[in-house]
Amino acid sequence: MSDITRRDFVTATAATAACAAVGVTPTYAAAIAPGGGAQPVRAAAGPVIVGSGNCLSGEGYRQRCIDRVVELLAAGKGPLEAVVEGVALVEADPKDMSVGYGGLPNEEGVVELDASVMDGVLHRSGAVGGLQRIMHPARVAKLVLERTDHCMLVGEGALKFARAHGFEEMNLLTNEAREAWLKWKETHSEDDDWIPPEVDENGKQSARWRAWPFSYGTINCCALDVKGNLAGVTTTSGLSYKLPGRVGDSPIIGAGLYVDNEVGAAGSTGRGEAVIQICGAHTVVEAMRQGKSPKDACLEACDRVVKKNRLKRLQTKDGRPNFGLNFYAVNNKGEHGGASIWSGSQYAAYVNGEAKLVPSAFLFETEK
């Protein structure tokens, strides 16, 4: 039995029989995936796309990310190109202040972007960290995957690489993001020389000190195409007002993104430090490998974060995380799921030809 192992053959044969029972085209199901295993029986017809809620926003901007991914897959593009070009719409959208152009800057007022991509077909990845002046870090990450022998470029090196590939440099700081940063700068401490205007925008006496909440935001998008191939992308401006050079989970393979054609794909948004410390997306994929549904796998990763969150300054009075994070997952059967530590989140899914926001599973009810 030349290229196909006996196990693959038996699994493929079983898949074909199962498909016949549920009326799915057996030729597809019996095909051998590039990863070497047999294609699983699909739970959904057509492609499945899963990601953060902003895959479905984009009012006023040309097109929603998810619609673009669907369009590109339908045009025969691979899932990697499709997701990278889908999130490019959000990277270019000044209204999304957590991604690309218009993203909130670091503590010095400089926008620094992180992104990663992963391709399940050849199990390759690419990433950039702390990239300045380039609107589309996910495209640069895809070129790191395709045109270097490396997995990640950061800072000045990533910028030089983007320049070499002809990316246009620009000021990524919009007026809105600059004003938000300035307000933070002038009010997050009483012990410096920055002073807010006497009255704030509501005509009230400006406070010199404000406890600013953590401000996160990112786009993650993973796609399963009709051939059973997976790819994913995560792209972000990261934590607002971060220390220059701070890199979050988004460009870290296994943290903000992980794809394995033989199992599924997962991504995350929210407090990147916590995701990195439990290897979040990898944890989700490995839980799916052990047989968990995407939703339960995402919940398991959230639970791991809660159990490992031992610093008092990161806990509520009940000992729960005082931050939020979300996981999104799709398995190679096309089942999808999402979970967050706290209630109230939604994730985006495109399944059986329909794009929708789905309530995420959660561990704790958000206190009102």
- Active-site positions read 218
C-beta of 145 vs 257, nearer to ligand ASP: 257
Residue 289, both tokens = 């490998």
Binds ligand ASP by CB under 6 A, chosen from 81, 112, 119, 249: 249
102 forms part of the interface with ligand ASP (CB under 6 A):
no
Q: Which of 53, 120, 137, 217 binds ligand ASP (CB under 6 A)?
A: 217
Q: Sign of torsion, CA 230 236 242 243?
A: positive
Q: Which residue has the tokens 């789905």?
A: 358
Range list of β-strands (E), 321-364: 325-331, 336-342, 346-351, 354-359, 361-364
CA distance 152 to 116: 8
Of the CA atoms within 13 Å of residue 222, those in its CB half-sphere come to 36
Please report how close the Cβ of residue 325 comes to ligand ASP at its closest, in angstroms: 7
Count of residues interacting with ligand ASP (CB under 6 A): 13
Which residues, in sequence order, are bridge partners of residue 48?
224
Long-range contacts of 22-27 (CB under 8 A, 24+ apart): none
218 binds ligand ASP (CB under 6 A): yes
238 interacts with ligand ASP by CB under 6 A: yes
Nearest CB to ligand ASP, comparing residues 287 and 325: 325
Please state the closest distance from residue 272 (CB atom) to ligand ASP, in A: 2
Q: Note whether 39 and 28 are within 8 A (CB).
A: yes
Cβ proximity to ligand ASP: between 102 and 238 the closer is: 238
* Residue corresponding to tokens 């010095």: 108
CA R_g for the chain: 21
- Span of 78-86, 105-113, 140-148, 213-221 interacting with ligand ASP by CB under 6 A: 213-221
| Amino acid residing at 347 | Y
Q: How far apart are CA 69 and CA 245, in angstroms?
A: 31
Binds ligand ASP by CB under 6 A, chosen from 248, 334, 337, 338: 248
Per-residue x/- marks for ligand ASP, 250-279, CB under 6 A?
x------------------xxxx-------
CB-based burial label for 346 (10 Å; 0-12, 13-18, 19+) = middle
Q: Are strands 354-359 and 325-331 parallel, antiparallel or unpaired?
A: unpaired
For ligand ASP, which is the closer residue by CB, 24 or 113?
A: 113
Please select the residue that binds ligand ASP; options are 216, 323, 328, 362, rule is CB under 6 A. 216
Per CB under 6 A, the list member of 39, 54, 236, 345 interacting with ligand ASP is: 236
Of 187 and 340, CB closest to ligand ASP: 340
Residues 295, 272: contact at Cβ < 8 Å?
no
Within positions 292 to 331, which residues make up the interface with ligand ASP, using CB under 6 A? none
Q: Which residue has the tokens 């919940």?
A: 299
Does residue number 239 form part of the binding site for ligand ASP (CB under 6 A)?
Answer: yes
> In the bound complex, what is the minimum distance in angstroms from residue 78's beta carbon to ligand ASP?
25
Q: Please, which residue, 216 or 347, has the CB nearer to ligand ASP?
A: 216
Instruction: Classify strands 336-342 and 361-364 as parallel, antiparallel or unpaired.
Output: parallel
- Give 86 or 270: the residue with its C-beta nearer to ligand ASP: 270
Could you tell me which stretch among 160-168, 216-224, 278-286, 301-309 binds ligand ASP (CB under 6 A)? 216-224
> Which uninterrupted H or E stretch holds 244?
none
Residues with Cβ within 8 Å of 172's Cβ and at least 6 positions away in sequence, in order, are: 100, 101, 102, 103, 111, 113, 132, 133, 134, 135
57 binds ligand ASP (CB under 6 A): no
Report the distance separating Cα 284 and Cα 32, nearest Å: 24
CB of 1 to ligand ASP, least distance (A): 45
CB of 285 to ligand ASP, least distance (A): 17
> Looking at beta carbons only, is 30 or 265 nearer to ligand ASP?
265
Stretch that binds ligand ASP, among 41-49, 63-71, 248-256, 330-338 (CB under 6 A): 248-256
Give contact residues for ligand ASP (rule: CB under 6 A): 216-218, 236, 238-239, 248-250, 269-272
